[in-house]
Structure 1
């Protein structure tokens, strides 16, 4: 069994309506050394982001599924997060690789995008690239 890293690489908020996706992402990101919080929908993600920012321990990156049936998806959530924090770093995630937001994520306020199914190394690279960006 691999030892968990001691030092956090950063604080990540992951939003997806599917419990299995949240559970899997939690395991993957913890293995890569990230501290992770999970949200099942847009309202919960906004609350978690706002509370973390107000407590002085903001998230470094938010990863959001664009489609949340019956709830706020990533496209709506990013607009709310930009109101709370104009410098928010967010990754759009979708099963539709030709989605305009995935293709041109920066136009919609995202820092990066990942199409599902994604490779673990691909996800880690996108996360690292965004974490090391100095400007939005």
Structure 2
């Protein structure tokens, strides 16, 4: 069950947010922080992998990674999830994209993702997806 505060869906956990658009990183990280999450940002898959490894080594594992599927000129979620699974086979990741007809969006689990959030999404939709993935991860 979702926690609500003043009609807003709330949550908690450590989130690694990967997107190539600086404005999305800024806005979404601030909104997620206001909803109860601790957020670290990465601009592409390479940065996300480095941040994930550093967090694991420091004993501060991320509860979930949100990955943009396509990063022009950089490593996107499709490539990064494979490396993250090699680093941590229990990684929980949500794929996000505006390309709703991409096969990964339709069959995200087959590609190693735990959840999907099509763009554009509302902050409530994102928090609900985060809460679902985090609670499923804690049950397993």
TM-score (norm. length: structure 1):
0.92
Please give the alpha-carbon distance, in whole angstroms, between the structure 1 residues aligned to 2:93 and 2:73. Answer: 22
For structure 2, list consecutive stretches of 5 or more residues without a partner in the other structure.
6-10
Task: List structure 1 segments (4+ residues) > 6 angstroms apart after TM superposition.
Answer: none
C-alpha deviations, 1:48-68, integer Å up to 9, x for none? 000000111110000000111
Deviation at 1:120, TM superposition (A): 1.5
Q: Matched residue pairs, number?
A: 129
2:114 aligned with 1:105 = no
Q: 1:12 aligns with which of 15, 39, 46?
A: 15
TM-score (norm. length: structure 2):
0.89
For the residue of structure 1 that corresponds to 2:65, the secondary structure is: strand
Map of 1:21 onto structure 2: 24
- Aligned-pair RMSD on alpha carbons? 1.3
Deviation at 1:104, TM superposition (A): 0.8
C-alpha deviations, 1:54-91, integer Å up to 9, x for none? 11111000000011111100000000000000000000
Please give the alpha-carbon distance, in whole angstroms, between the structure 2 residues aligned to 1:47 and 1:54. Answer: 11
For structure 1, list consecutive stretches of 5 or more residues without a partner in the other structure.
3-7
